[in-house]
Amino acid sequence: MTGPTNTPARPSAGRAAAKKELPEHFKAYKHVWVFVEQERGQVHPVSWELIGAGRKLADKLGVELAAVVLGPSGAATRGIVAESFCYGVDLAYLVADDILADYRNESYTKALTELVDTYKPEILLLGATTLGRDLAGAVATTLLTGLTADCTDLDVDADGSLAATRPTFGGSLLCTIYTLNYRPQMATVRPRVMPMPQRLENALGRVIEHPLAIVEDDIVTKVLGFLPDRDSAKSNLAFADVVVAGGLGLASPENFQLARQLALVLGAEYGCSRPLVQKGWVTSDRQIGQTGKTIRPKLYIAAGISGAIQHRVGVEGADLIVAINTDKNAQIFDFAHLGIVADAIRLLPALTEAFRRRLSPHSRDRIAS
Ligand code: FAD
């Protein structure tokens, strides 16, 4: 029989050991915030997706969900506040000042950190866009708190801490990261990773307006002009309803055109796996996956793609995945809804022809235009 010994209990390992009593000055931090990203009055849809994700976190924590809107004074910025209520926030923090008309790291960081210091959110979410990544890093550094970038899942654990999951080790593993002893807990999420929440008409909420505590002379960077990106409308891959993609199985840039032709007939966007970009067959804005775009179409057709984890994380949100692969054991068949074991180089032209014949004249006209 063994009895109690005087040996001290081994300290528990990992996260349990790391969790300490939250410092007193962080205990006042409450509520979930979503930064609503806008440029020239256009809201990036990832903001609405994050409001959907934030709603679930706030409900689980029993706290309020707030939008943070920064922009120039005027109707457009106030319209964004009103729109954020339609996607489900309870209240909105608004800093409306013409200094915020164009995104500059300095002014936006100042505005957002001051809001955080004043109203103390426990969770702050931003889109992992070019703007969101730039802002999130600067805000987290200024506030000396943790930031988990490019999350694929967000949850709240039994203790009420944000569990932010993201790929690691080149996407071969998923890890869940906690910011246990600092506030706010910050995370960024790429567009299309979270589903778009339902939009409700005429929703209302509270608006808390906060002044911007800087003047133009305080900011080093100046906006001299605005040149729209000529390529910005080129690929609508992330938001397309139908996507056809090709992989190395198509064997040549000429054969990749077979995937493009099917996309054209379906009125779809086309994409590819990473090796095709690396080989210079396809431009990088068409890459799908962990280091490319995340897509969430109604239909995704993958031809000659093996389904490596780095590709899979970018397509898992699709409603229907149809895979064409010569290898019946290809990984893609583990998560495709419909699998076709066939030579894509022969099947793609047959599919294109079949859809061309079956699509209505109206669809054909639309595609031709
Ligand atoms: P392969 O793996 O070579 O697969 C080709 C497939 O085609 C095979 O399954 C084969 O059976 C099939 N095939 C062959 N001939 C035919 C035919 N005639 N008809 C039909 N099928 C055929 N990859 C991405 O896609 N996106 C990313 O964002 C991405 N990010 C990455 C990030 C990191 C850090 C790393 C390390 C890797 C990343 N990768 C990414 C690469 C990824 O690991 C795979 O190497 C890549 O997805 C494989 O591309 P593939 O499926 O086209 O080629």
Q: What is the CATH number of the domain that holds 80?
A: 3.40.50.620
Q: Are residues 111 and 194 in the same domain?
A: yes
Which residue's CA is minimally distant from atom 13 of ligand 1?
A: 249
Q: What is the pLDDT of residue 229?
A: 75
Question: Which residues have CB under 6 Å of ligand 1?
Answer: 170-171, 247-249, 273-275, 287-292, 304-306, 308, 310-311, 314, 324-327, 330, 343-345
Q: What is the pLDDT of residue 17?
A: 57
330 vs 6: CA distance, rounded Å? 56
- The pTM of this model reads 0.81
- 116 touches 137 (CB < 8 A): no
Instruction: Decide: helix, strand or coil at residue 325.
Output: strand
Q: What is the pLDDT of residue 171?
A: 77
Residue 48 belongs to a domain: yes
What angle (nearest 5°) sits at the alpha carbon of residue 311, between those of residues 309 and 315?
A: 110
- Last residue in a domain, options 165, 190, 218: 218
Q: Are residues 302 and 169 in the same domain?
A: no
Using the CB atoms, write b or e for 275-306: b if 16+ within 10 Å: ebbeeebbeeebbbbbbbbbbbbebbbbbbbb
The alpha carbon of 272 and the centre of ligand 1 are apart by a number of angstroms equal to 9
50 vs 268: CA distance, rounded Å? 26
H helix count then E strand count, the chain? 10, 17
Q: What is the pLDDT of residue 232?
A: 62
Q: What is the pLDDT of residue 332?
A: 98
Residue 62 belongs to a domain: yes
DSSP output for 173-192: EEEEE---SSSSEEEEE-TT
295 vs 283: CA distance, rounded Å? 17
HSE (side-chain half, CA atoms, 13 Å) at 228: 7
Query: Domain total for the chain?
Result: 2
207 vs 194: CA distance, rounded Å? 26
DSSP state of 120: -
Residue 255 belongs to a domain: yes
Domain that holds residue 171: 23-218
- 136 touches 248 (CB < 8 A): no
Instruction: Phi first, then psi: give them for residue 306, nearest 5 degrees.
Output: -75, -30
Q: What is the pLDDT of residue 363?
A: 55
115 vs 68: CA distance, rounded Å? 9
Q: Are residues 287 and 245 in the same domain?
A: yes
- E strand intervals along the chain: 32-36, 38-39, 42-43, 65-71, 91-96, 123-127, 147-151, 153-156, 162-168, 173-177, 185-189, 206-209, 242-246, 269-272, 299-303, 320-325, 338-341
DSSP state of 22: P
The alpha carbon of 253 and the centre of ligand 1 are apart by a number of angstroms equal to 15
Which residue's CA is minimally distant from atom 37 of ligand 1?
A: 310
- Last residue in a domain, options 218, 251, 285: 218
Q: Are residues 126 and 53 in the same domain?
A: yes
Q: Are residues 202 and 109 in the same domain?
A: yes
- Going by C-alpha positions, the residue among 286, 272, 292, 170 that lies closest to residue 236 is 286
Q: What is the pLDDT of residue 189?
A: 97
At 37, list the tokens: 């990203």
State which ligand 1 atom lies nearest to the alpha carbon of 309.
43
Q: What is the pLDDT of residue 2?
A: 35
Ranges of residues in the chain with a pLDDT under 70 are 1-20, 231-234, 360-369
Tell me which amino acid residue 58 is: A
